[in-house]
Amino acid sequence: MDMRIIKSEQRLCLCCMEEHKVKTVLIKETATFKNKKVTYEASYLYCNTVEELYMDEQQMQENDLRLKDAYRKSEGLLTSKDISSIRTKYKISQNDLCILLGWGGKTITRYESHQVQDKAHDTILKKLDQDPEWFLLLLNDSKANLSAGAFKKYWAAATALYEEDQDVYLRKAIEANYAKFQGDQLLHGNTNLSLDKVVDVIRYFAASTKITSLYKVKLMKLMWYADALSYKLRGFAITGLVYQALSMGAVPVGHNSIIDLRNVPCEEMDMEETNAYHFSLKGKPSFPFLTDGDKNILDMVIEKLGKMSKNEIIHFMHKEQAYIETAPRDMISFKYAENLQI
């Protein structure tokens, strides 16, 4: 008999009724559930004295669930732990999840303990797991049937998941847009794109008290100068961004999406005929993805350009060889960084 020993402890053995070390073991078993044979690991206690296996009441319940979870896996259904994990990430109770889904009050409890869900309910639970936006819609519809405290807790958890999902999709879209530049180190500054560093660079500039009126146009120029100066001094850029020559100077590819990344401190402001994007970060935040060398480069850029107005920095940028030598809307090569004005 093939046994895997989990633990051994001194206790009263209910098999021989003597106190000695009793092993908890796992044994592979095959059983039929709903006309299907499934293999699973059953938990037993083992008595060395009489060389017999036996189960206590808790193990009986656990083995029943192990059998049903093995069946669930074979049928492509969520296991009991999967269902419990969905609740955990939304921080929602069994009863309140039933309220959201319009199910009987003990349905989730049964699914997590002994009953196998049907495919219709399984599909709903999978959608809930993958779609926090739908959870928020269900939660809002059920607000009247939940306590204020519970609603607030569930809303906060789901919102955080929703924002995280949005950021993941946004990052994938930006990275896909950059795939075509991977082979040209003079366009990305000999650095692979790091959106974590992009966010930290923006936050570093936004936190500086030495930068005045940090709006989008000025920010884009500061980012280019930081990457170009890094390339000039170290042979590689900080972020891996690729920059395009537009009418107001260098702008990173995907700039509209970049400022929507999570943790970018961007505030959209109504300026009558147009919207402006202002960047500001208070307090003493950390910048975990920036090295000391990166920060030194950023500080040099801030010292040289931080007090310039938008028009001044545009004018300054227009005198750069990199801008003069690059055709409108073309990508700017980092080969011009050696002649940078700063």
**Paired strand residues for 251:** 244
Residue 115 sits at the vertex; the CA angle it makes with 54 and 129, to the nearest 5 degrees, is 120
Nearest CA among 201, 215, 208, 204 for reference residue 269: 215
Answer yes or no: pTM beyond 0.85: no
What three-state secondary structure class fits 2? Answer: coil
- The pLDDT confidence band at residue 85, using thresholds 50, 70 and 90, is very high
pLDDT at position 54: 96
Mean of per-residue pLDDT scores for the chain:
95
Task: Average the pLDDT over 115-133 and give the result.
Answer: 96
Third-level CATH fold of 4-74:
Ubiquitin-like (UB roll) (3.10.20)
User: 239 is written with which tokens?
Assistant: 């972020």
pLDDT at position 272: 66
Cβ neighbours of 186 (radius 10 Å): 15
Q: Dihedral of CA 22/26/30/31: which sign?
A: positive
Map out the domains of the chain as residue ranges: 4-74, 80-166, 182-339
**Paired strand residues for 7:** 24
For the cut 90, the answer to whether the pLDDT of residue 148 exceeds it is yes
Task: Average the pLDDT over 314-327 and give the result.
Answer: 97
Could you tell me where the beta strands, DSSP code E, fall in 95-153?
none
**Paired strand residues for 33:** 36
- The pLDDT confidence band at residue 284, using thresholds 50, 70 and 90, is confident
The share of the chain scoring above pLDDT 70, in percent, equals: 99
